[in-house]
Structures are given as structure tokens and as C-alpha cells.
């Protein structure tokens, strides 16, 4: 499909997110600065100051307050966005659950950063993985371009009447958030038409139809309300593809649950999310030249987790390695656990190895990935969780 030529800018991932927010022009943004997210709201607030967006900016005293303000604004009927990282997301934890349970379609850019202690400002996925059961939809981005486009997908997904759940859009701290790439921007008018006018369901400011938000909900109905969230997540999985097909008409790209890279004829594969997928693709290409049938599966949508579809793809292989940029102390790493459970539930007896990498921002190099593929090809898989790039 032919796609028209558009404006291209050499910008950081954070600036790409800010551009998406400007084009969306939300009613309210409430945020608190934290590295490496700060540039998003700093850039966007300058856009507001310059009259390029007419968003109501709310500067608060903490991330807990930021999400609380977002909840209040969204309940009132506003289109609401925010951004955070790491300890800021952890400080929001209580209100993150409230936003999801109240079914508020807030969109939040999360620039992944390691959680303390010790203090670390660089990338891993411990912050967003800590919120994986909070009821938020989670979309992960490999590049600045993906992060930019995922913001539009997230907004439409969150506001869909069959979903009405908040969405996190992730990108890797410093790696993509501060790295400069060429990002192709949609036209402002295209974005405006794609996202449409927000029509809130039962807003607090509709005084002719009064409603109550945040009531005491004991055992009489709490269970049923949680069950409704489960159904909303099921709907989100279907709506994600529907919205992705609409967005593809503008971009010419596809927005599946996961990207397959040289996977169709592969014998073995690595599963990894976000920026590390780019490094893995380079290794796949190198080993293909050597005649080795290796491939990659890169999840984009992590919540809801597309278990059946992933099991269908990986179930054809001889062996799989899952690379996690976070650890789960006392249990299997998050992505590994999901993938292995999906294969087991589908009756696929494929050996799955677990590797943890990149904690605290440590780089993942091609020479770290090649031995993983060699182990998969030889069938000599580690029986326990292994660690890439870890000093002895």
C-alpha cells in the first residue's frame, strides 16, 4: 500500500512521545519529573507554553499525586495522559490500581528504568513488570518510531467502549528515550481524524446524570467488578488488532501482537522485548549467513498476553530461549514464565530456556546472544535461569 511522504525529524524517543502528545492534544496532563522520563513532559509543557497545544498542565508534588490528578480528571470526563519511570511508577502503585479498577482510559508513557536499591537511573523492565497485574494494558516499543505510533494505538484502545482500560506505552530508558533516531511523523490532521473526539462514559461533570466514583465496594459486588475487568482485558486483545488495522492505513505498517523476524522457517528462536530485539535481529542475520536457521519473536503486547498465538508460533520450533530484562526473585522471570505457561497450556513440548540480561542498563552485545542461539541449536540448554553479561 502506498503511503504518502511525511515529515521526518531526527529526535529522541522522549521527543517522539511529546510530539504524539501534542498531536493528540489531551485535555489534561498531570506529571512529575523523573529521569529518564523528564524530557517528555518538559518538551510537551514547552509546546503548551508556546500555544502548540491547549492542554491543562497540572504540576504536582509527587507521582502519587500525578496519577491521582489523572484519575480525577478522567473521571470528570477529560482525555488524560501522563508519563513516568521507575520509582515514580512505584510511587503511583496504589493509584495505578485505582485507575484500572475505575475503568479510566488514561494513557501513560513509561520510560523503563531500574528500581532502587541501589540507586540506578538506567534501563531494565523491573518498573513496568511490577505493574503487570495492575489491570493496565501494556505495549512495549523497540524504537522511537514504534513508541510514537504506539501512543495513538494506545489512546484508541483505551477509549474503546468495549475496553475502557488505561494503557502503558513502554520504551527503554536512555537507549531509545535519549537516543536520536529519524522518526516519521503523521500529519496533525491525520492524527486528529484517527483519534476522533473523546466521548466519556458517565462523566462526573454530567450533572444531569449523576454518578458515584470510588464507592466502598465490599464482598457484595467487588468480585463481580473484578470479573468485569477480566472481560475488558479479553476485549482489549481483539480491539488491539482492530485499531492496529486502522492505523496501518495511515502508516503502511502492521501492528500484530508480536513481530516475527525470520521465524517462519526457523528451527530455534529467541523471545525478547523492546530495544534488545534490534541487537538480536543483527545476530539472526549474521547466523543466517552461516546457514543456521534461527529467528526472533518480539512481543509488542504484553498485557493482555497473547498466549495462544505465541504458543502457535513457538510450538513449531525445536527449542526457545526467553530473554528478560527483569528478574522475579524466588520465581521465574516474567516473560519466560508467560511463554512457558503458554506452551504448556497448548500442549507444546518445546524446551524453553530462561536468560536474564541488562539489569540496571548493562548493555547486551551480539557476542552475548550468539552463544544462546548455539545452545539452542545444539540442544545443550541450561536447566536453570542463566545470566547474560554477568561478571563471574
Spatial separation of the C-alpha atoms in residues 218 and 226, rounded to whole Å: 12
Residue 99 in grid coordinates: 485507575
Residue written as grid cell 473484578: 226
Calculate what percentage of the chain has a pLDDT beyond 90: 98
Against a cut of 0.85, is the pTM above it?
yes
22 confidence band (pLDDT: 50, 70, 90): very high
Distance of CA 275 to the CA centre of its chain: 12
8-251 classified as CATH 3.40.50.970: yes
Give me the phi and psi of 357, to 5 degrees please: -145, 165
Please answer whether residues 63 and 89 qualify as being in contact, where contact means their C-beta atoms are separated by less than 8 angstroms: yes
Spatial separation of the C-alpha atoms in residues 243 and 230, rounded to whole Å: 20
Q: Which residues contact 314 (CB under 8 A, 6 or more apart)?
A: 269, 271, 297, 320, 339, 342, 343, 348, 350
CB atoms near residue 195 (< 10 Å):
18
Q: What is the DSSP string of 175-206?
A: TTTSSEEEEEPPPHHHHHHHH-----SS-TT-
Spatial separation of the C-alpha atoms in residues 285 and 289, rounded to whole Å: 6
Distance of CA 336 to the CA centre of its chain: 17
Provide the sign of the torsion angle of the four alpha carbons 17, 111, 244, 260, taken in this order. Answer: positive
The per-residue pLDDT for range 29-50, each reduced to its tens digit, is: 999 999 999 999 999 999 999 9
3 confidence band (pLDDT: 50, 70, 90): low
CATH architecture of 258-388: 3-Layer(aba) Sandwich (3.40)
Q: What is the DSSP string of 319-369?
A: EEEEEESS--TTS--HHHHHHHHHHHHTT----EEEEEE-GGG----HHHH
Instruction: Give the pLDDT of residue 4.
Output: 72
In the chain, where are the structural domains located?
8-251, 258-388
92 confidence band (pLDDT: 50, 70, 90): very high
The per-residue pLDDT for range 105-156, each reduced to its tens digit, is: 999 999 999 999 999 999 999 999 999 999 999 999 999 999 999 999 999 9
Spatial separation of the C-alpha atoms in residues 263 and 256, rounded to whole Å: 15
Average confidence (pLDDT) over 152-166: 98
2 confidence band (pLDDT: 50, 70, 90): low
Amino acid at each position: 500500500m502506498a503511503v504518502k511522504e511525511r515529515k521526518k525529524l531526527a529526535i529522541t524517543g522522549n521527543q517522539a512521545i511529546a510530539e504524539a502528545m501534542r498531536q493528540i492534544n489531551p485535555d489534561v496532563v498531570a506529571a512529575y519529573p523523573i529521569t529518564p522520563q523528564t524530557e517528555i513532559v518538559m518538551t510537551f509543557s514547552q509546546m503548551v507554553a508556546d500555544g502548540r497545544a491547549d492542554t491543562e498542565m497540572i504540576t504536582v508534588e509527587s507521582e502519587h499525586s500525578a496519577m491521582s490528578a489523572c484519575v480525577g480528571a478522567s473521571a470528570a470526563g477529560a482525555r488524560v495522559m501522563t508519563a513516568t519511570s521507575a520509582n515514580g511508577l512505584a510511587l503511583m502503585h496504589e493509584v495505578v490500581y485505582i485507575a484500572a479498577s475505575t475503568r479510566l482510559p488514561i494513557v501513560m508513557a513509561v520510560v523503563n528504568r531500574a528500581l532502587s536499591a541501589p540507586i540506578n537511573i538506567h534501563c531494565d523492565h523491573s518498573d513496568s513488570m511490577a505493574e503487570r497485574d495492575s489491570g493496565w494494558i501494556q505495549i512495549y516499543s523497540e524504537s522511537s518510531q514504534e513508541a510514537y505510533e504506539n501512543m495513538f494505538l494506545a489512546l484508541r484502545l483505551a477509549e474503546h467502549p468495549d475496553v475502557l482500560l488505561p494503557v502503558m506505552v513502554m520504551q527503554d530508558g536512555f537507549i531509545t528515550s535519549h537516543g536520536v533516531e529519524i522518526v516519521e511523523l503523521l500529519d496533525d490532521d491525520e492524527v486528529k481524524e484517527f483519534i476522533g473526539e473523546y466521548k466519556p462514559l458517565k462523566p462526573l461533570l454530567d450533572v444531569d446524570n449523576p454518578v458515584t466514583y470510588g464507592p466502598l465496594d465490599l464482598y457484595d459486588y467487588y468480585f463481580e467488578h473484578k470479573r468485569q475487568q477480566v472481560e475488558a482485558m479479553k476485549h482489549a486483545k481483539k480491539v488491539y488488532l482492530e485499531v492496529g488495522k486502522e492505523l496501518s492505513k495511515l502508516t503502511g505498517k502492521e501492528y500484530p501482537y508480536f513481530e516475527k523476524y525470520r521465524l517462519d522457517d526457523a528451527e530455534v528462536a529467541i523471545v525478547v522485548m523492546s530495544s534488545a530485539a534490534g541487537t538480536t535481529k543483527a545476530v539472526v542475520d549474521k547466523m543466517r549467513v552461516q546457514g543456521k536457521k534461527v529467528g526472533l519473536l518480539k512481543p509488542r503486547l504484553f498485557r493482555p498476553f497473547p498466549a495462544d498465538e505465541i504458543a502457535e508460533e513457538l510450538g513449531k520450533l525445536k527449542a526457545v530461549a526467553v530473554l528478560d530484562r527483569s528478574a522475579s526473585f524466588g520465581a521465574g522471570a516474567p516473560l519466560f514464565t508467560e511463554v512457558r505457561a503458554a506452551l504448556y497450556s497448548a500442549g507444546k513440548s518445546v524446551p524453553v530456556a530462561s536468560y536474564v540480561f541488562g539489569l540496571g542498563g548493562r548493555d547486551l552485545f551480539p557476542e552475548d546472544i550468539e552463544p544462546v542461539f548455539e545452545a539452542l541449536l545444539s540442544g545443550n540448554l541450561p536447566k536453570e535461569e542463566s545470566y547474560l553479561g554477568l561478571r563471574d
